[in-house]
Each structure stands twice: as structure tokens, then as C-alpha cells.
Structure 1
Amino acid sequence: MRLKKQFWLMLLLTIVTIFVNLGSIPLLDPDEPVYGETPKEMIQYNDYLSPRIYGEFWYDKPPMYYWLVAGAYKLLGIVELAARLPSAVLAVLCVATVCYFTTKLFDSRTGILSGLVLATSLEFFYLAKAAVTDITLTLFLTLTLLCFLNRHYHLFYFFSGLATLTKGPIGLLFPGAIVILWLIFTRRLQEIRHMKILPGIIIWSLVTLPWYGAMAYIHGLDFVNGFIGINNIARFATPEHVETAGWYFFIPVLLIGFFPWSAVLIPAVIKAFKARNSDLFSTVSFLSIWVAFIFLFFTLSSTKLVTYILPIFPALAILVGWYINSCRDEDSTGYRLVWPITLTVLVLLLLGAMAKGLFLFPEVVGGLTALAVVLGIMVIAVWWFVYRGKPAKAVWGQAGAMVMVSFILFSVILPPLADNFHSRGLAQAFTGVYDGKSPVYVIKFLHPGFAFYTNMYGKELKPDAELKQFVASAEKGYLIIQEFDYQLLSDLEKERLDILTQLHGKMIVLKK
């Protein structure tokens, strides 16, 4: 009964962490408005097959998240809450999935601890509150891999298909590679005979081929080259963002994104390596390969984004939950103290960054102070419980603190800063100065948010040669631009532009 109560408490904390203030902040540039605008155009054009943006077909992602958001729009209207609702709901389902399967693989207590770890990891709950595809992909990949581990082979292929409809080929590549590597590592290649491969191919094809086949038939090489060539192969081979192309990029991303549980990663990994002679070796090795393969895949990829490694978080959460639960049986207090010591170092580094933030954003001094207090209490609680040999209580204390961190971030700190990161105010200002007939040009970074909040597409400009060509042309037009890009123009180019509105680092200018 006590564990059942803990499960419902864990689920309640998850829901509170993710759903508080879910729709109160406008969609943040540039990614969220993309996933808000495309389903809006699906409804506008009554076309749920071919994704569009700015009225043009585009092949950046498969349609799964667009379909989910379009359904939420039908239910709630075209509002921020609806754009983010699928991520939030699926994140709760992901936590419940991890808890359920971990209970089957280990025990109930490990399942609950793993769910708490996942739900209160910084990057996980942040993306759960965002209108992006990463939580959807993470859920389907998690279901795929955990169904395999529990020998639910038909469901393994089904959820792999849904992952492929969410993010493309990696929905098949990741599970396939992880499973094969694990079978080789554990010398179980004979298991392939029991994996129902032929029915699995049929199931996967029934899920994926209707959409992929229809798109290839209707759009031909434009779809094949755009989706496979540009948005998959080219992104892997060529960096979109040179500043994030370093091989080490995902190391700090993992430490920050998995905070505060990154403090437990080292002892959890060490214990995983020592599990070779354990009855749990099969499960632990599978989870370890899951983490290692995806982490190394994106490390080798030329294009790197902070969100890419989110699919390893469920496996890490299970490993950390398993490690913490096993701490009850450890004799060495010193071994357990790695957790609070590492947590203290991470929090001190974070407090240093927050101190710098006070100078940059003095309007959030109250929120940052409250955040510092909560983090300090969290460190003290973890020290107290771990030293007294009660690691499970340390988990609850740390998880409870992160629920408060989420509330402070999204209710106190982010709202006064949000105007710097969205285009809703700019769109409202534009409607007051636009003459209703002249062409409108929008810098690429601001284009999705401008389109979402004005219902006007405009023409996209890249902030380099395209911008300069427009300024040098004889055409009159309105230009939506970031102040940073405006300042890079020459004085002669600026003379051709009249500033109509300047708002939170964004500008509306009229080219004479």
C-alpha cells in the first residue's frame, strides 16, 4: 500500500511539474512557433498529409507532432496551451512508462525512483513544457526499446513505426542498432529467430508507409531530396551551427540537462560496469548500450542541438533509480557520498552563473534569489539523508526541490524575460503600423513567430547577402529584423530604413 501511495505521489509531482503555467508564456522563437504554425496551416488548408509552412510544402519533419497539435487546436483553439499540450501529456506518459517497465524489470521501488528521476530532470521537464517534437520521439523510442526488453515484439515494431513517423529514419535506426549491439555484446544472436521479424516488418510498414508512400507519390523527388537528403543526411554530415560542432558539446549538455541527477551519474555508471556477474547484467547492459549508442551517434553528427540526446534520459533515469535503490544495501558511506559532494559542486557552479545573471537581468532578482534558496535546501537535504543511509528519502527531497525549481522558473523568472524571446508583442505592434498593402520581409529567425501571431507569411530573408540585396533594391517594403542584424548594416544601408518600432531587441523598419 505504501508503494502504491508513492506511485500516485510521484505521478502527482510529475503532473504539477509539467502542467503549471503550461500555456501562460507565448511561443518562444524560433522553434516553438514552427510547431505551432504548421498544424495551424494543416487546418487552414484542410490538408493533414503534406506539412506546410508559410503556405509552402516543407519536408523538415514527419507529421506526428503536427497531427497531435492540430487535434489540440480543434479541442482548445489555436492557443499556446494547445501547441504545448501534446508534449506535456506524452511526457507524463513517458514517466509512467518508465515506472511501469522498471517495476517489471527490477522492482516497484526502483520503478518509482526512476520515474521521479526522469520527471524532475531539468531538460526533460523543460521540453515537456515546449511545443517541440523531442518528448514525442523520446516516448516512442522508450516504448520501443522497453517493449523489446520485455519481449513484446509486436509492440516493439509498432512503436518503432510511430517513432519513424515522429522524427524519421532514426525511429528505426536507433532501436535496430541498439538491439543488434546488445545481442552481440551478450552473445544472444540466436534470439533473432524469436523476434517475429516478418510480422514485425508488416506492422512497421503498416504504420509508416501510408504517409511516406503518399508523400513520395505526390511530391516525388522534392520530398525524397528534401526530407532524406537535406534534413537527415546533410544535417548529419554538415554542421548547421558551427559553434556547437565540437565533439565535447554534449558533455556539458548532459551535466546541465540531467541536473540534479547528473550528480549520481558517475556512481551509477560504475555500478553498471560492476554488474557483469549480476542477475541483472542483461538489463543493465541493454540500458548502457542504449545510452552509449545515442550519445555517440549525436557526438559524431556534425549538426548538434541541445535537445538531441533527450532519448537517453529514460535509460539514465532507470540506471540512476536502480543505483539509488541499491544504496540501501551498500556498506560504504563514503561511496554514497559521491552524490552529495558532486551535487554541491554542480549547485555552486549554477549559483555562480545565477550571480552573473543578476547583473544581466536585474528584473528577476527575486526569482533567482528564491531559486538559490531552494537549491541550497536541496543540497542540505541530500547531505542529511545520504549520510544517514536513507537514499530513497534523499530522492524524494531532491525531486520535491526540483518541482519548486520548475515552479519558480516558469512562474517567476521566465515571464518577465519572455518578451526578449518571443514575437507576439512585435506582431501586435506590426498590425498598428502596417499599411495593409506593401510587401513584408522577415528575418529567418523571427519568421515562424511573426507568421503564427500575425497570420501573415511575409517573405523570408537570411541575415547576410539576402538582407543586403533587399536593402539595396528599389522595392519599398516592411522589414521585421533583430536589432543585432540591423546593427551589422552599414550607415549608408541604415539611411534607407526608417525605424517604426523597436521592441525587446526586435525592430519593424520601413524601407524607403
Structure 2
Amino acid sequence: MSAWPAVAGFPTRRWRRFAQPYARAPAAVGRDRVKGEPTLRDQMTTRVAVAAIVGLTLLALVPSLFTREPWNPDEPRAAEVAREMIVLKNYLVPHLNGRPYSDKPPMFYWAASVFWRLGFGLNSGRMVSLVATMGMSLALYALGRRLHSPALGLLAAAITLSALLTAMICRYGVLDPLLTLFTTLSLACAVRAFEGGPAPGRWWLAAYAAAALALLTKGPVGVAVPLLVSAAYGLARRGVVRKGGWWHLAGAALFVGLVAAWLVPACISGGRAYAHDILFQQTAGRIGEGAAHANWAYFYLLQFPIYALPWTLLLVAALVWAWQMRRDPAALLGAAWVLAVLVFFSLFSGKRERYLLPLMPGVGLLCARYILGVMRGEHAPLRWHHGLWRATFVLLCLSAVGVGLEVRDFAKDPEVLAELKSLITPPVVAGTVAAGVAVLAVCVYGLRLPRGAAGETRRVLAVLAAVAVISLCLDLAATPILNQFRSGGELVRRAGASLANAEEVYQYQDDFNGTLNLFTRRLHLPELEDEKALRAVLESGRRVAVVIKERDAEALKGAMPFRVVATRLVLHRPVSIIANWKP
């Protein structure tokens, strides 16, 4: 008798290639796995899965590379630090505005500087995020394949890539996608070592090495995430997994060696102030009450359900199911991943949505394991399973209706509103309407699918298709419009002649996140701390340009000798460039 009815819901032969070998019994894990060389079918399955993951990543992240510049506040700063590494030929101590930059370790800036040298320019930081996201997805696929089957790995990667937080943050040239790559790699290696197989010691060494790279990307959080999740997973499966023994001592030595290889010479080269900041201030400051981006303790409990869309409701079902199926290794790991990281980050006062990016692979793994079990008939769906799917499609419909609302915050000023209307051309309107209709049609199709395993695969594909349409619409229609108001490049272009002819360019009471350094290609823009210093440079007799907040320029107009060269809204705040001479 064929085993295929146990995996009803896979409508094509290509999908059957993933599910058929695993339909008769759950996949073996760890020491129970059959040893030997991969079969031709295994190799073909892996090739198809890798191609699918690469294609999904490129579809999600490549279009925005051509429709916008780095956006304030974080992208220009990260790109400028990488650029200054090349200009100063100093890869040991990062610099911003010509001064040592101790806010973060250098791993991201090293990677971005490679892309700068390869000619990617302003897209260098986002290329790091693209490669890191692709690597994270492939690592998650390998982890899911190891714990259960290729189908689980592929589905987990697809769910992770389509979640709102992943799709949003991985488009940016910031540190968090690279951090997530290394934490995911560390966890994948730790689980591989836990579950046995040949040479588990080398997997422990790889886990510690990946954790060291995570620390070199964003500090101690890079160690905390894999440590907490692997400890929770090992504790939950303490009667089954291998503990590692003395390999942990060797791994710790490797970890310390990799970190010290950069940290010791950097502290010596950067001096006492840099060493103090990188070792103490940036760690203690983020833990204490004075941390930047401080928020209330329950911030993530309210925000995380939004970040996990469109899979939030299925995640709730998956968590309930994981509690009932506590022996399933993939379910245990996914639940530990989500809960441990969520609780850990909630303990600190500094909170931003992107800090939760390292737990999104856990969301993908847990949701995929639950959904795949329904597809294959391994377990009955929860009683409210179908209702959660219907609510998910309703939420996607609402997203399609509101796909253009991201620009609403920029329409408060009459001048901005007028410019915004001029940018919303008929092709933009037509494309947005077409995308909304397409998403609506996909959601209606999803709502009409049969209950249970028979329609489960098509429901997943419908959600992925709707997310892909929304993503492309935002990248191709909304992003070019938003770029006019979120990038500092337009301000620099409007003041092009004045900036080019200025003998000196200053910044008044703000460093503007390195934006002006990046777009003017100037290594150092001196900062003026008060009105006395501003008056001195404006009356110096030299051609001087100053970057200043619009409200300060308006307050000082008439009291000092300058004219406003250009004014532009840059991420919710109007910024002006003033000059002390006439062309």
C-alpha cells in the first residue's frame, strides 16, 4: 500500500519528492539516523530546496537595492563606518566622522567594507544583510532537515523569510541580519553536536566559533542567544542528547581566542577611552535604566504579535501543540528558541523591534513543524486550527487594503503633502491597485480551501504568494516615494554646488548619524556645540556650509550672516544646509 495518503496536501510531484521518503515514519534523529552517503534523491532534494531558498531571498531583498538609498538613522552610519575603514586603512578600530567609533564591534563593518571594495557603494551594507539572510535561511534548512526532513527545513526557511520582522529588518543594511546568521549557525551546530553522529566534537567547536563571530558583530547578545536556547533544548532532552564533556572547554578556548584576536590589539590601538567604552559602557549602558531606546517591560509582549505576522495566529497554535508534543525535537527547539529569546530581551530596558530578529528562525521552525504535521496527518489539527487560518487570510486582506498607508506620516506638512501627491503618478496608483486586487484574490482563494490536510499546503502557498505581492508592491511603488523623505542624499543633491564650493562643512549640535559624511564623501565634519561657535565660523571670512536642524536655522535667521541653501525632511525631521556666501 502506498504511503502517500499519509501526506495528503502535497499537490505536485516536486513537493512529493520532499515528503515521500518520510511518510512511513518520523525521520530518525541523532544516533538513530541511518549512516552512509546521501542518495541521489537526497542530493536532488537538497538542490531543489537550496534553489528555492535562494530564489525566495532574492525576490524579497533584491528589488529594494534599486529603488532607494540608505535610510536614516542607522543605515548611513553603518555604511559610513565601513567606508572610513577603507579611507583610513584602519580595520582594527572602527571610525565615524574621523573619530574612533566604540558603539559596536567591527564584524559587520569588515563585511561591508569588502562590498565597498567590490564596487557596491551605498548598497554595501544591504549586501551584507542579503548574504546573511540567505545564509541564515540555508542554515535553518539544514537544521530542519537534520531534526525531521527536508520539507521541514524548506518550510521553516520560507515562513521565516515571509514574517514581517524578517522582511522588514533584512532589507536594511544594519547589524541584526548578520547577528541572526551567526546565532542560527551556532544553534544549528550545537543541536548537531547534541544529537550525536560522527565527530560531535567538531560541531561543538563550530558552535563556539559561530558564537564568537556573533559577539564580534553585536556584543554579548551574540553569546546569550545561542547559549540560552541550546541550554533550554539540552535540558529538555537531557535523557537523549550528548552533553559534550571536555569539548566545551576546547570550544570556550577557541571562543576566547577568536574574540581576543581582535579585542586586545583594538584596545591597545584605540586607547584607554575606546577600551573602556567597548568593554563596559556599551554593555552596562544597554542593560541599565539609562539605555538607549528604553521601553516598558511588556513592550515585546504587545509588539511581537505584530512582528510575527502573518504567522502570529498559527504560532499560537504551534506553541500549544508543542506543549502537547514535548518529545518532538523540532517542536522543543522551536518553542525554546521563541520563548527563551523573548523573555531574555524583555528583561532589559533597551528595546527595539529589530532586537528580536534572532528569534525569527525559531518562529519559522515551530510553525513549520506544526503545519507539516497537519499536512502529513501525523497529528490532528487543533480544534480552532481552521479558524486561525481564516483569520490569517482576513489580516492579509486588510494589509492589502492598507498597503499604501506607510506614507501617511509624511503627509502632515502642506509642502510635503503637495510633493507627495506629485510623486504618486498614475503608474504607481495602477500598480498598487493591481497588487491589492491580487492579494485579495489570493486571500479569497485561501478562505475557500477545504479544511484539514487536504488544503494545508495550498494555504501555505497562498500566504507566501500574498506576502510576495505585498513585498514587491512596497519595493517598486512605495519605496521610491519614501526614499525622497528618508534618505539624506536628496538634501545633499539640492545643496550640491554650495557643498562642493565650501572650504569647510560643519554640523551644528548633531552628527546626523554620518549621513552627510556618507553622501558628501567627507571624512570629518566638525561639530559646532553652541551659537558662539556657529557665529565664529560664519563670520570667519571663509566659505562655510553648515548642516543644521530647520528649527534652529529659523530661530537664528537674521541674527547671523547666512542664507538657507536647501531644506529637506530626513526621517521625520526637517534638516537645512546654510551657507555664509552668495553664489
TM-score w.r.t. structure 2 length?
A: 0.78
What residue identity is the alignment partner of 1:49?
A: L
What residue identity is the alignment partner of 1:304?
A: K
**Are 1:408 and 2:473 an aligned pair?**
yes
Structure 1's unaligned 5+ residue stretches are none
Residue aligning to 1:105: 147
Residue aligning to 1:26: 69
Tell me whether 142-151 or 230-239 shows the greater mean CA deviation: 230-239
What residue identity is the alignment partner of 1:25?
A: R
Decide whether aligned partners of structure 1 residues 368 and 237 sit closer, same or farther in structure 2, where only a CA change above 3 A counts.
farther
Residue aligning to 2:433: 369
Matching residue within 374, 385, 401 for 1:336: 385
In 1: Cα distance, 2:109 partner to 2:404 partner: 39
- Does the residue aligned with 2:325 lie in a helix, a strand or coil? helix
Decide whether aligned partners of structure 1 residues 382 and 494 sit closer, same or farther in structure 2, where only a CA change above 3 A counts.
farther
Residue aligning to 1:262: 312
In 2: Cα distance, 1:138 partner to 1:409 partner: 24
Matching residue within 335, 339, 348 for 1:288: 335
**Are 1:238 and 2:303 an aligned pair?**
no
In 2: Cα distance, 1:249 partner to 1:347 partner: 24
Residue aligning to 1:274: 324
- Does the residue aligned with 1:387 lie in a helix, a strand or coil? coil
**Are 1:437 and 2:510 an aligned pair?**
no
Matching residue within 111, 134, 140 for 1:68: 111
Which whole-Å deviations, capped at 9, do the CAs of 1:164-212 have from their partners, x for residues lacking one? 1111122223322333344445556995453611211222123221001
Decide whether aligned partners of structure 1 residues 468 and 206 sit closer, same or farther in structure 2, where only a CA change above 3 A counts.
same
Are the equivalent residues in 2 in contact too, given 1:88–1:128 (CA < 8 A)? yes
**Are 1:299 and 2:362 an aligned pair?**
no
Decide whether aligned partners of structure 1 residues 91 and 442 sit closer, same or farther in structure 2, where only a CA change above 3 A counts.
farther
Residue 134 of structure 1 and its aligned partner are, at CA, apart by: 0.7
Residue aligning to 2:279: 228
Decide whether aligned partners of structure 1 residues 509 and 18 sit closer, same or farther in structure 2, where only a CA change above 3 A counts.
same
Residue 110 of structure 1 and its aligned partner are, at CA, apart by: 1.3
TM-score w.r.t. structure 1 length?
A: 0.88
Residue aligning to 2:299: 249
- Does the residue aligned with 1:272 lie in a helix, a strand or coil? helix
Residue aligning to 2:261: 210
Are the equivalent residues in 1 in contact too, given 2:508–2:546 (CA < 8 A)? yes
Higher helix share: 1
In 2: Cα distance, 1:10 partner to 1:193 partner: 32
What residue identity is the alignment partner of 1:375?
A: V
In 2: Cα distance, 1:150 partner to 1:101 partner: 8
Are the equivalent residues in 1 in contact too, given 2:314–2:388 (CA < 8 A)? yes
Are the equivalent residues in 1 in contact too, given 2:80–2:518 (CA < 8 A)? yes
Matching residue within 561, 564, 568 for 1:503: 568
Residue aligning to 1:312: 359
Decide whether aligned partners of structure 1 residues 182 and 285 sit closer, same or farther in structure 2, where only a CA change above 3 A counts.
same
Q: How many residues were matched structurally?
A: 499
Identity of aligned residues (%): 21
Residue 56 of structure 1 and its aligned partner are, at CA, apart by: 0.6
Are the equivalent residues in 1 in contact too, given 2:400–2:470 (CA < 8 A)? no
Decide whether aligned partners of structure 1 residues 201 and 189 sit closer, same or farther in structure 2, where only a CA change above 3 A counts.
farther
What residue identity is the alignment partner of 1:429?
A: R
**Are 1:448 and 2:497 an aligned pair?**
no
What residue identity is the alignment partner of 2:62?
A: F
Are the equivalent residues in 1 in contact too, given 2:297–2:346 (CA < 8 A)? yes
Residue 28 of structure 1 and its aligned partner are, at CA, apart by: 0.6
Decide whether aligned partners of structure 1 residues 48 and 341 sit closer, same or farther in structure 2, where only a CA change above 3 A counts.
same
Decide whether aligned partners of structure 1 residues 386 and 149 sit closer, same or farther in structure 2, where only a CA change above 3 A counts.
farther
Which whole-Å deviations, capped at 9, do the CAs of 1:214-260 have from their partners, x for residues lacking one? 11222343233211322221022135556x51223224542333222
What residue identity is the alignment partner of 1:440?
A: Y
- Does the residue aligned with 1:501 lie in a helix, a strand or coil? strand
Residue aligning to 2:216: 165
Decide whether aligned partners of structure 1 residues 445 and 391 sit closer, same or farther in structure 2, where only a CA change above 3 A counts.
farther
- Does the residue aligned with 1:26 lie in a helix, a strand or coil? coil
Residue 70 of structure 1 and its aligned partner are, at CA, apart by: 1.0
Residue 268 of structure 1 and its aligned partner are, at CA, apart by: 1.0
Residue aligning to 2:166: 124
In 1: Cα distance, 2:530 partner to 2:442 partner: 49
**Are 1:95 and 2:145 an aligned pair?**
no
- Does the residue aligned with 2:546 lie in a helix, a strand or coil? strand
Residue 460 of structure 1 and its aligned partner are, at CA, apart by: 3.9
Matching residue within 457, 481, 484 for 2:548: 481
Residue aligning to 2:526: 459
Residue aligning to 1:385: 449
Structure 2's unaligned 5+ residue stretches are 1-13, 19-44, 194-202, 412-419, 539-543
In 1: Cα distance, 2:206 partner to 2:366 partner: 23
Residue 123 of structure 1 and its aligned partner are, at CA, apart by: 2.3
Are the equivalent residues in 2 in contact too, given 1:367–1:413 (CA < 8 A)? no
Residue 24 of structure 1 and its aligned partner are, at CA, apart by: 3.6
What residue identity is the alignment partner of 1:427?
A: V
Decide whether aligned partners of structure 1 residues 179 and 195 sit closer, same or farther in structure 2, where only a CA change above 3 A counts.
farther
Matching residue within 460, 480, 488 for 1:395: 460
Are the equivalent residues in 2 in contact too, given 1:37–1:53 (CA < 8 A)? yes
Residue 380 of structure 1 and its aligned partner are, at CA, apart by: 2.1
In 2: Cα distance, 1:75 partner to 1:365 partner: 37
- Does the residue aligned with 1:478 lie in a helix, a strand or coil? strand
What residue identity is the alignment partner of 2:457?
A: A
Which whole-Å deviations, capped at 9, do the CAs of 1:61-112 have from their partners, x for residues lacking one? 11111111111111125x1233321210121111111112101101121111
In 2: Cα distance, 1:384 partner to 1:494 partner: 67
The alignment's C-alpha RMSD in Å is: 2.9
In 2: Cα distance, 1:415 partner to 1:195 partner: 55
What residue identity is the alignment partner of 2:93?
A: S
CA radius of gyration, larger in: 2
Matching residue within 124, 127, 150 for 1:82: 124
- 1:174-185 aligned at under 5 Å gives the runs 174-185=225-236
Decide whether aligned partners of structure 1 residues 26 and 333 sit closer, same or farther in structure 2, where only a CA change above 3 A counts.
same
Tell me whether 85-94 or 20-29 shows the greater mean CA deviation: 20-29
Matching residue within 89, 98, 113 for 1:46: 89
What residue identity is the alignment partner of 1:213?
A: V
In 1: Cα distance, 2:241 partner to 2:143 partner: 24
